[in-house]
Amino acid sequence: MELRPAQFSSYLKTPDNNIRVFLVYGPDEGLVRERAKLISLTVLQTLDDPFCYAEIEAGNLDGDPARLRDEIEAISMMGGDRVVRLRGAGNVHAKLIQSVLDADFSNTLLVIEAGDIKKSTALVKSITGLSIGASLACYHDKAQDVGSLIRDVLGEAGLSLTSDATDYLRKNLGSDRSISRQELDKLVLYKGSDGDPISLDDAKAVIGDSSAESVFDVIDATLLGNLIALELTLNKAFFAGESAITFLRLAQGQLKQLHKAASFSGNGVPLSVATKKAGIPPFNQKKAEAQIGRRGAQHFAQCLEIILKAEMECKTTGAPAETLCRRALLRVCMANRSR
């Protein structure tokens, strides 16, 4: 079966349980990864259980189909279905994959991620023509798809946009879906929950500006307790014209997420799971784990109080905002030096 891109959303709502081999391929690697993950989640509730979920890099199989077959026919110790996700496949792996298509798939969904291969290749044809197989091509986002991604990501966060901010995002987000999602996740972090729609100025502060990355470098250095990096990146960003409020708002957003994750961790949730439950974007989860370390939720509550007080002083005291911001970030950085 060939699943057209326009049919994908409907498929996720009512997946075909007879499909046991799913090939996702195309030039948009970010979209391939995202859709392969969503397909996997039609069978499993989480991809964190090693008894039910296995990932294999095609390049590590070394032409040995037995290893792939063993994973396909393995039985979960906890019962129920399993997902085997084969990543980085290509035409060179067609024969290897074809050799395991007669395996017992009664308890397993095999999800294959491939790159920019043609519909006419042996790999695509073999999966599409399989009675239990389906293929899905993923191409770079068109304007309509980018608009849908914007609505989905910001809608999940409970945020809305002004019309000029929407137009700006459509024009400045790239064609790679995973990168676009990362940029939108950063925008969500920056905006926080002040109740106002995302404005054009908000969008420009995070997306499409080469200085945006240096802004996040400042926050990373602060939360990792790296005084030297904080001094260098903050000086560079202020010289480039960044505002003190931008740093304070971003620090607030990240500290709220870290506080939430630390709370979960303090209640016995593994840190790698806690960061996900706290809504920390995938691209930032490993970094967040390092920022949390062994610290508890109270630590981040105290850091957040420092940042909130600094923003209030910036708006009410008439003191230089850069000085207030620098002092607050330094205090938080010092607090994060000891684990």
Query: How far does CA 177 lie from the centroid of its chain?
Result: 11
| pLDDT tens sequence across 201-210 | 888 877 765 4
**228 and 236 in contact (C-beta within 8 Å)?**
no
Specify the pLDDT at position 303: 96
SS3 56: strand
Beta strand residue intervals within 232-334, DSSP E:
none
Encoded tokens for 22: 């799913």
**Residues in the chain with pLDDT < 70?**
63, 140-144, 174-176, 193-194, 208-213, 338-339
Give the domains, in start order, of the chain with CATH numbers. Answer: 2-137 (3.40.50.300), 143-206 (1.10.8), 212-335 (1.20.272.10)
Specify the pLDDT at position 77: 75
Specify the pLDDT at position 210: 47
Query: How far does CA 192 lie from the centroid of its chain?
Result: 17
Q: How many CB atoms lie within 10 A of CB 248?
A: 25
| pLDDT tens sequence across 65-100 | 788 999 999 988 777 899 999 999 988 899 999 999
**117 and 27 in contact (C-beta within 8 Å)?**
no
> d(Cα 204, Cα 77) in Å, to the nearest integer?
50
Q: How many CB atoms lie within 10 A of CB 115?
A: 14
> d(Cα 287, Cα 174) in Å, to the nearest integer?
24
| pLDDT tens sequence across 223-259 | 999 999 999 889 888 887 788 988 998 899 899 999 9
> d(Cα 306, Cα 308) in Å, to the nearest integer?
6
Burial 211-235 (b: 16+ CB within 10 A, else e): ebebbbbbbbbbbbbbeebbbebbe
